[in-house]
Amino acid sequence: MGFLTKLFNRSGVHIPVNLIRAKPERPIDRSSLSQSEGQRKKRRLEVIAHEEPSIGMAKLKEEIMNLTMEMNTRMNALEKESSRHTIMLQEIKGMLIRMQSNKEEDDD
């Protein structure tokens, strides 16, 4: 007598004899079990994928918009700084040209 049968008998649960002694018609194919387990897992993941993104997508879109605005702000600041540097370089170049032409005039 198996463990479960003894447990059911002690608990007063009646198990029909034909249920206890039933033999499978054919051996259990382990690959079919793993496929059905994989299919159940796939369906479970699909359900989760359809449920959670609706909650997470709004938050994700909000975060993307925040990052976009932050990047735009940073790019504008960098463009302004770059423009100031370009102006300073042009002024320095102008001063160097004037200094060189003054030096050439002094040499003549």
Q: Is there a domain that residue 79 lies in?
A: yes
Query: What pLDDT, on the 0 to 100 scale, is given for residue 45?
Result: 72
Q: Is there a domain that residue 73 lies in?
A: yes
Domains in the chain, number: 1
Q: Which domain holds residue 73?
A: 61-103
Query: What pLDDT, on the 0 to 100 scale, is given for residue 58?
Result: 77
- Cα 32 → chain centroid: 32
Residues 79, 85, 91: CA angle, nearest 5 degrees: 140
pLDDT tens by residue, 40-61: 777 777 776 666 555 567 777 8
Residue 90: which pLDDT band, with cuts at 50, 70 and 90?
A: very high
Q: Is there a domain that residue 71 lies in?
A: yes
